[in-house]
Amino acid sequence: MATIHFHGATQQVTGSCHLIESTAIGKVLLDCGMEQGGDDGELYQKQFAFNPQQIDAVILSHAHLDHSGMLPKLVRQGFHGRIYCTHVTKALLEVMLKDAVSIYLHDLERENIRRARQGEGPLQPIIEQTDVQKTLSLCQTYDYLESISIGSAGVLKFRDAGHILGSSIVELTLTERGERKVLVFSGDLGNPDTVLMKAPSAVYHADVLMMESTYGDRDHRNYTNTCSQFAELLDKAKKQGGNVLIPSFAVGRTQELLFHLGCLYHQGKLEGWQVFLDSPMAIAVTEIYDRWAALLDKKAMNHLAKYNYDSLQSFLPNLHLTPDPEQSMALNRIKGGAIIIAGSGMCTGGRIRQHFKHRLWRTDTTVIFVGFQARNSLGRLLVDGIKHVKLFGEQIAVKAQIETLGGFSAHAGKTQLMEWQQHFKDSPKTILVHGEVNALESLAQSLWSDYHVKAMIPHEGELFSF
């Protein structure tokens, strides 16, 4: 008998981490992500509910930090097994983990200066960059659809999840006492309407299906309408004479935005605008997207080819990269006509908070959210209409225009999730993870009423046997 122990992303969107135990594979983690929503300095505080030294392997669905971010801590605490992932996932991991740990160490240094002034001793780092290097050395990379032996009697296969480059649906086949069981973990399923990524692969057979439910309670706005709304918001902001701030995830969302802005540029709809990509991590990731362009959607690539495309940057001629801190700070002196894309996507850290400090109180500023905002994150508070926020010890009035574009989401919407679930021909036990309570309950109810599928919604620490 195999078991699943749910240690993260249960009744919340972040912190994906599930422990699979079976005589076929031993103890294997599906993802090892951090819980996002608070400040960056708190991201590594959560303690593991298991002994990292006893984990035999990690299967990583994709590189986003809410699925991968705790790997350096896992390694620091004694994990030394294999980390199974796709080739692109490892390339993205190197950028993302180094950046996350760098931010953490910078915040720690600042906190220790504060403690020294108060006569307190320094805090020791939970993780360091050497832990990132050890993590990367443990990664074993594979192609989609490659059959991978794992443990004594397990077979692993990655399928394209269509979420970001390298993102995977995990198919794990276990053979115990001659009995074959198939576990499928959706990871994060992509939105088929996005332009750069392929649609999520269909899977037809499973005994147990673990499915994400981020947008289990709603569908996204039509893609064409979203693009029109985006252009209208930029036109409105231009008439106000101010600037546009777009908090964006460095992996996936930023590259989609650059594509859409490039399209608007070639349609003559970006006159008077300059676009600034103000994120060293997003700049590095965009280079990886260009390097692995063969994995992107063919329709998008054919469209880009019309403009002699050789990179996302060349497709958008008024794009400026600002990797250095001095370049980033200089953006605060621009009075109007700037579209500034900066991390982090949920505004829990990164350069976007500095831009908020300088511009959130201005009525001519427009903030456009293009991704999911987790509960308790600064982004979620702004979307929900908060009137004052505290940034860098200072109260800031929120007078900017706050807008949301749901159609650019890299996650499947409710109807798309249900349609993907219906590909399975053998009525697998369906378990809903990676969603807030309302989304989970709404999706479970619709699966039951429409398809007579009874879905389980696990609690943190719950154990499921199959």
Go through the domains of the chain in sequence order and give each one's CATH number.
Answer: 3-218+410-465 (3.60.15.10), 223-408 (3.40.50.10890)
The least confident of 157-161, 268-272, 308-312 is 308-312
Query: What's residue 123's pLDDT?
Result: 93
Task: Determine phi and psi for 306, rounding to 5 degrees.
Answer: -65, -20
First to last CA, the chain: 6
Query: What's residue 301's pLDDT?
Result: 79
Task: Determine phi and psi for 387, rounding to 5 degrees.
Answer: -100, -20
Give the CA distances from residue 48 to residues 81, 287, 389, 456, in Å, rounded to whole numbers and listed in that order: 17, 34, 32, 24
Task: Determine phi and psi for 188, rounding to 5 degrees.
Answer: -95, 120
Measured distance CA(79)–CA(62) in Å, rounded: 19
Query: What's residue 309's pLDDT?
Result: 63
User: Is 5 a residue whose pLDDT tops 60?
Assistant: yes
Contact 351, 278 (CB under 8 A): yes
Q: What angle do CA 279, 382, 164 make, to 5 degrees?
A: 45
Token pair of 99 as six digits: 């950046």
Contact 97, 44 (CB under 8 A): no
User: Is 40 a residue whose pLDDT tops 70?
Assistant: no
Query: What's residue 38's pLDDT?
Result: 57
For residue range 302-350, what is the model confidence (pLDDT) as tens digits?
777 776 666 777 789 999 999 999 999 999 999 999 999 998 888 988 8
Query: What's residue 224's pLDDT?
Result: 83
- Crossing angle of the two packed helices 280-291 and 253-266, in degrees rounded to 10: 80
Query: What's residue 405's pLDDT?
Result: 87
Average pLDDT, the chain: 93
Task: Determine phi and psi for 19, rounding to 5 degrees.
Answer: -100, 120
Measured distance CA(233)–CA(225) in Å, rounded: 12
The least confident of 18-22, 149-153, 269-273 is 269-273
Measured distance CA(413)–CA(383) in Å, rounded: 19
Query: What's residue 39's pLDDT?
Result: 55
Nearest to 209 by CA among 415, 16, 465, 428: 428
User: How many residues are listed for the chain in this entry?
Assistant: 466
The full DSSP string for 118-169 is TTPPPPPPS--HHHHHHHHHTEEEE-TT--EEETTTEEEEEEE-SSSTT-EE
The confidence band for 265, taking pLDDT boundaries of 50, 70 and 90, is very high
User: What is the residue whose two structure tokens read 């700037």?
Assistant: 338
Query: What's residue 78's pLDDT?
Result: 98
For residue range 44-96, what is the model confidence (pLDDT) as tens digits?
888 999 999 999 999 999 999 999 999 999 999 999 999 999 999 999 999 99
For residue range 163-214, what is the model confidence (pLDDT) as tens digits?
999 999 999 999 999 999 999 999 999 999 888 899 999 999 999 999 999 9
For residue range 415-435, what is the model confidence (pLDDT) as tens digits?
999 999 999 998 999 999 999
Nearest to 30 by CA among 51, 9, 12: 9
User: Is 41 a residue whose pLDDT tops 70?
Assistant: no
Token pair of 437 as six digits: 């309570």
- The structure's pTM equals 0.90
Q: Which has the higher per-residue pLDDT, 252 or 130?
A: 130
Burial of 69 (0-12, 13-18, 19+ CB in 10 A): buried
Nearest to 259 by CA among 221, 290, 294: 290
Query: What's residue 193's pLDDT?
Result: 86
What amino acid occupies position 308?
N
Measured distance CA(170)–CA(16) in Å, rounded: 13
Query: What's residue 26's pLDDT?
Result: 98
Q: Who's near 395: CB < 8 A, 6+ residues apart?
A: 388, 389
Token pair of 416 as six digits: 């798309």
Measured distance CA(421)–CA(427) in Å, rounded: 9
The confidence band for 42, taking pLDDT boundaries of 50, 70 and 90, is low
What amino acid occupies position 325?
P
| Mean pLDDT to the nearest integer, 130-154 | 98
